[in-house]
């Protein structure tokens, strides 16, 4: 089983005879550090798994740049509202490092539902899972201080803290780089 098939299996629990059908629709793609996967306002017509590397999902407002999320190895990446509802992309997505992707084009993505009858049901579960992760994140903003959010997130993804420019982590957690730096220092052994 290829790495891609393992990811699809673990996210969607597809049976192994279907796995190959799906994974054949993906192709490998590389994005160099600094290059863009997607620009705000464009239409997102693909969905990718990260084989290795990192992508930052952000948006530029009048005052500042807001990092919404950083995706790493094993994660999905797309602009869901653009892919699914054909709307202009909300997010800009840029590679923080040289990144290899398994990518499926929208047209092929839409074919999966015909190939595999239970696909939509599995996909629904996947998106529902993503939904609950966002619920957790909102909860963290309703009930935690900056330091608590730091610890909550660090517990979930400690690897990220060594690999990602800290200013982006700070933004993603809803605090300034200075505050992030101080908290980080305090929490270092």
Partner DNA sequence: AGTATGGCTTGATATAAATCAAGAAATCAA
Partner DNA sequence: TTGATTTCTTGATTTATATCAAGCCATACT
Residue 177 binds what, of a copy of itself, DNA, none (CB under 5 to 8 Å, by partner type)? DNA
Choose the stretch contacting a copy of itself; rule: CB under 8 A; options: 4-12, 29-37, 100-108, 125-133.
Answer: 125-133
Q: Verify binding: residue 130, a copy of itself, rule CB under 8 A.
A: yes
Strand order, beta sheet including 36-38: 36-38, 92-95, 54-60, 65-72
User: Residue 76 Cβ, how far from DNA at the closest point, in Å?
Assistant: 25
Burial code (b: 16+ CB inside 10 Å, e: under 16) for 134-145 equals: eeebeeeeeebe
Residue 147 binds what, of a copy of itself, DNA, none (CB under 5 to 8 Å, by partner type)? DNA
Cβ-based nearer residue to a copy of itself, 9 or 81: 81
For residue 106, the 8-state DSSP code is H
Cβ-based nearer residue to DNA, 1 or 166: 166
Please, which residues have CB within 8 angstroms of residue 72's CB and are 6 or more apart in sequence?
A: 50, 53, 54, 157, 159, 160, 163
**Whose structure tokens read 């009858």?**
117
Q: Verify binding: residue 19, a copy of itself, rule CB under 8 A.
A: no
Per-residue x/- mask for a copy of itself, residues 35 to 74, rule CB under 8 A?
A: ------------------------x-x-xx-xxx------
């Amino acid at each position: 089983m290829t790495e891609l098939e393992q990811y699809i299996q673990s996210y969607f629990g597809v049976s192994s005879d279907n796995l190959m059908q799906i994974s054949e629709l993906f192709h490998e793609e590389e994005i160099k550090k600094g290059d863009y996967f997607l620009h705000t306002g464009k239409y997102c017509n693909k969905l990718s798994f990260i084989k290795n590397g990192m992508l930052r999902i952000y948006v530029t407002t009048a005052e500042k740049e807001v990092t919404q999320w950083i995706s790493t190895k094993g994660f999905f990446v797309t602009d869901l509202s653009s892919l699914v509802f054909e709307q202009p992309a909300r997010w800009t997505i840029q590679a923080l490092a040289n990144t290899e992707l398994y990518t499926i084009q929208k047209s092929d993505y839409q074919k999966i539902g015909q190939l595999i009858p239970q696909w939509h049901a599995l996909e629904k579960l996947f998106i529902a899972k993503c939904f609950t992760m966002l619920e957790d994140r909102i909860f963290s903003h309703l009930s935690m201080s900056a330091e608590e959010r730091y610890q909550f997130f660090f517990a979930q993804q400690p690897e990220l803290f060594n690999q990602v420019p800290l200013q982006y982590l700070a933004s993603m957690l809803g605090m300034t780089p200075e505050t992030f730096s101080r908290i980080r220092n305090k929490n270092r052994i």
